[in-house]
A = this chain, B = another copy of it.
Amino acid sequence: MPRLCGRRYGVSKVLFVPYALFDYDGYTRKARNAFQNMGLELESIHEKEDPVEAVKEAQGIFIGGGNTFRLLKTLYDNNVIEPITERVLQSGLPYMGSSAGTNVATVSICTTNDMPIVFPPSFKALGLVPFNINPHYIDPEPGSIHMGETREERIKQYHEERTTPVLGLKEGSMLEVEGDKAVLRGKTGAKLFIRGQEPQVLEIGTDISHLLKSE
């Protein structure tokens, strides 16, 4: 995917955001190795003097996974929420996120699976798409006696409070968004939750571009 992204968008260097994990240096080393193997240079935002400038100069941005609350709080602390949103939505900066980095790309982090280990100033996120994503979406094991809520029940609870659609992205899937087109890629598929409707199972290859038009 990153190589594809590099080729398709003329990107040779990616700005990495390691804020979701505690050990920025270790995380950056791992990410740098992986990107170098794909022929892409990687710079981490935490090694740059001015994070806002780093975003302004980036050719492409990759936000990695970890804890979504820590990630969002650190994006706010470093004043890069608006600069990232502006560059992606207005100048088409290629954006890639995994796990927590996917959560923050959406309307809010209200459908993350993570523990609220730190208190961000808001749950409002980058809003690069007008819906929410639940990453690592998983259906309950048949016959489970665990009494905690299932993922589907949690998302239903969210819809008791809000109308934003939620895309449950299963392990091994990704959503590719380009302009006004959004298509499910990967191996496993997704489940789409619209308030007041039965959840829809979505196969790989499904075009969900209509969701980009929701408020």
Contacts and interface: CB of A to CB of B under 8 A. Distances in A.
A161 B67 CA distance: 11
B114 A123 contact: no
Nearest to A148: B136
Interface string A5-41: 0000000000000000010000000000000000000
Nearest to A109: B116
B147 A117 contact: no
Interface residues of chain A: helix, strand, loop or mixed (majority): loop
A183 interface: no
A163 B66 CA distance: 19
Interface residues of A, number: 35
A70 interface: yes
A171 interface: yes
Given A138-B146, A146-B138, A113 B115 contact: yes
B146 A171 contact: yes
Interface stretch (A51-59, A89-97, A152-160, A194-202): A152-160
Contacts of A149: 114
Nearest to A162: B117
A123 B115 contact: no
A176 B68 CA distance: 33
Interface in A109-144: 109-119, 122-123, 135-136, 138
Given A161-B70, A171-B147, A154 B22 contact: no
Given A136-B147, A146-B136, A146-B138, A117 B171 contact: no
